[in-house]
Structure 1
């Protein structure tokens, strides 16, 4: 009996050792990048989510860059991942979307943002109305206030959702999703991740019901995202399904209001901390108003495009914000690059902070310095700047985000002043957060 038990135990040890070996040293038709796969199932997920209270490159990435170089392998939430902090590989990934790497969204729906010129007055009116309201309060949390403002505008544009007339609160479901998004993925009732999934489920159900109502009562003139979806679904050659469309809708709504509100919060924090930047930004916008025949007339598209220093401020803000700390793609087939092999089916994680905070590309990379963008293209992506994506494609809604930021800053600096009250500290886990918010007082200029 002892002999049988001994052999069974030995076999189990051999099997587990073999499993561990296969996990740590995956098979590959070539040379995998160096790195560690961590433990089976968990990989290095806990290290990836460890908090970081600075704007610097996340410690998870920085430590491995020093140990393994700019391209390394790891495992996150049970998936093998190649992490790229290499500007050339990042550029290559974006250039090859849809060919070697799986795309995140279809091109057809960028059409929904083509009417930005028509939207400009609505964006300005929304910003002006909210700033007027906030100036009557003793203080506001700029992160929460701008998130609510932008969500209302974006949801109206994309799906004609109006919080004042809807029986359900769509944004509350998104808030539940966001609060658990950066948590460890354990789906047990009571955990942040479980609440995250439930929030997403409720939001998807709401949008599915709204899409069904639109299907039953179609509109004659296309006006929002759902109109484009229904037109696409009616085509015989479409690859779109209702499920894909709803997933895309969810992503667009989330990305548009959450990322923009984070960027605006950090921008107001930087302006509060850097009076010379605020002075030059204010002068640019006051000059725009002075050139008008009627100072009270609204912003024009040409005025928006003339905001050179504003776009420098926006670029510098999003460079330091790194709101999207990782951009994931999936290798469609095996790829060879710089002597390494990326196996088919593996995830590839582009790490923008490693590029945006590289001292060989940006002098004093942790300094907020909008003037570093003078004489450069502040509207495009490059090997060294990918805050909105990069390569052949640019992030869906990039211009929409820039419009909202630029217009909000215009309304703020021309008519209001702000005073920091409390908060403003950042935390990355690895996404950007303001755990205590950023509370400010906004008051009208006299």
Structure 2
């Protein structure tokens, strides 16, 4: 009898598990799901995405599925159902529906790391998002770059490269990430890396390393260490906020003067706005600063490291860049003005340098894609598919950048191609800083920083790559043990 009971229980378990697996592999949909596979229960196809690919081409996870299923397909990543799109029309449509059909979304690890106390509101559409964007543009946008930041960036880069030249070698991705982070943090909340006892760069580097780890909060895991460093950073930001707010209340006259002149750092501006914007709580402001710093440094550091490798492999491009930057320098020397600092017109005259930056951004777009969440069922026009409400959507910008119909011989580093591309083609097919209303407010700031970095580098320094590793996508771009470079002053 007990044997029969055991067999019956086993049979029931097999039926339940089989039913569950079938349900997992065939999700409900009020229409036709895009083709694809949901992979294993819970894990999905996450492990396939994390396998390193030693090429600037699309990650095999994406490329193989596009070849098999087409430009729109379904999968599951970290236990979540996802529709992945490499279709330009669908991508632009989704981006245009921000706050209507979709909302900003992060994978669980990033979401948990970037949410502190309470529910995140930095991804809200409407007034909050407009305020956040306009505030960052007020500190890092074209007007501030033109009026104030360009000479400051030039000085900061000059000081940084001088420091690098005193070392036997520099791992440029890490070093450049710290350079951009320290400058950006100074603009945001007057952080001084040389005077502060808190090593902000070190903490953010470890947090970055944990962004794509599994969210297992057990001592010893990468995610656990990431969480500990995240808490230390937010505690520091809270202390800075409280001190600045206290000073603003105690020295109201000076604060009024700053307000009239648009002075102070980003945090000063936000504190002044607390009286008229009800959503500006301490928790929100700390989170805003935390995410703002995280957004400033990683993409620039990847492009700096990749550019060194590409320019070494393409000496003709390097020579044209050097010639352009020396022409800018000679023009400044010929001016009668005692102030020979670079300005906005000098930046805009760096045509070929900007082409090199665009081409490096195209090849090295680090993020695997832009993430959104469907608020309602979305019909994919022309394909007959439906994206169910609640599903995540990954817009693969790197697939657009590697499309041979737009970029001839897409794996080839060819900065000259940007002379020929028609202006109406670029917005829909080139999105290194995102798109739609969520396009990064720091896009121009990043381009300016990179341009001024190369100006100082190519006019004042020589460099030699001491050690280089293969470029790897895992799923973001990495360089193994790094790109190590020796810098020296030109004679």
Q: Same fold (TM over 0.5)?
A: yes
User: Could you give the per-residue CA deviations for residues 57-80 of structure 1, whole angstroms, max 9, x where no partner exists?
Assistant: 001111111111111111111211
Output aligned runs, 1:61-72, within 5 Å: 61-72=62-73
Which residue of 265, 268, 277 maps to 1:227? 268
Preserved contact between residue 315 and residue 370 of structure 1 (Cα < 8 Å): yes
Whether 1:107 and 2:147 are equivalent positions in the alignment is no
**Structure 2 equivalent of residue 368 of structure 1:** 413
Which residue of 168, 179, 197 maps to 1:167? 197
Displacement of 1:281: 0.9
Whether 1:209 and 2:239 are equivalent positions in the alignment is yes
**Structure 2 equivalent of residue 423 of structure 1:** 468
Q: 2:272, 2:436 → 1: CA distance? A: 29
Q: 1:226, 1:12 → 2: CA distance? A: 58
**Structure 1 equivalent of residue 38 of structure 2:** 37
User: Could you give the per-residue CA deviations for residues 19-75 of structure 1, whole angstroms, max 9, x where no partner exists?
Assistant: 222211111111111111112211111111111111110011111111111111111
Preserved contact between residue 145 and residue 344 of structure 2 (Cα < 8 Å): no
Whether 1:355 and 2:393 are equivalent positions in the alignment is no
Output aligned runs, 1:359-438, within 5 Å: 359-376=404-421, 382-438=427-483
Output aligned runs, 1:210-289, within 5 Å: 210-218=240-248, 219-220=255-256, 221=258, 222-235=263-276, 238-289=278-329
User: Could you give the per-residue CA deviations for residues 392-446 of structure 1, whole angstroms, max 9, x where no partner exists?
Assistant: 4421211111111000001111112211111242221111111121111222222
Whether 1:134 and 2:164 are equivalent positions in the alignment is yes
CA RMSD of aligned residues (A): 2.1
Query: How has the CA–CA distance of structure 1 residues 396 and 44 changed in structure 2, closer, same or farther, with 3 Å as cutoff?
Result: same
Q: 2:274, 2:43 → 1: CA distance? A: 39
135-144 vs 29-38, which moves further: 135-144
| Between structures 1 and 2, the one with greater helix share | 2
SS at match of 1:206: helix
Q: 1:435, 1:79 → 2: CA distance? A: 29
Q: 1:345, 1:229 → 2: CA distance? A: 33
Preserved contact between residue 373 and residue 391 of structure 2 (Cα < 8 Å): yes
**Structure 2 equivalent of residue 312 of structure 1:** 355
SS at match of 2:76: strand
Which residue of 216, 226, 230 maps to 1:196? 226
Whether 1:334 and 2:334 are equivalent positions in the alignment is no
| Structure 1 residues without counterparts, runs of 5 or longer | none
**Structure 1 equivalent of residue 108 of structure 2:** none
SS at match of 1:54: coil
Displacement of 1:275: 0.9
Q: 1:254, 1:40 → 2: CA distance? A: 32
Q: 2:471, 2:73 → 1: CA distance? A: 27
91-100 vs 81-90, which moves further: 91-100
Displacement of 1:272: 1.8
Preserved contact between residue 381 and residue 389 of structure 1 (Cα < 8 Å): no
Which residue of 330, 339, 352 maps to 1:290? 330
User: Could you give the per-residue CA deviations for residues 237-273 of structure 1, whole angstroms, max 9, x where no partner exists?
Assistant: x445443433332222122112111111111221222
Q: 2:167, 2:425 → 1: CA distance? A: 38
Q: 2:79, 2:397 → 1: CA distance? A: 22
Displacement of 1:98: 2.5
| Structure 2 residues without counterparts, runs of 5 or longer | 105-122, 249-254
SS at match of 1:83: strand
**Structure 1 equivalent of residue 154 of structure 2:** 124
SS at match of 1:291: helix
Q: 1:41, 1:363 → 2: CA distance? A: 40
Count of aligned pairs: 445
Q: 2:169, 2:466 → 1: CA distance? A: 7
Preserved contact between residue 77 and residue 185 of structure 1 (Cα < 8 Å): no
Preserved contact between residue 85 and residue 351 of structure 1 (Cα < 8 Å): yes
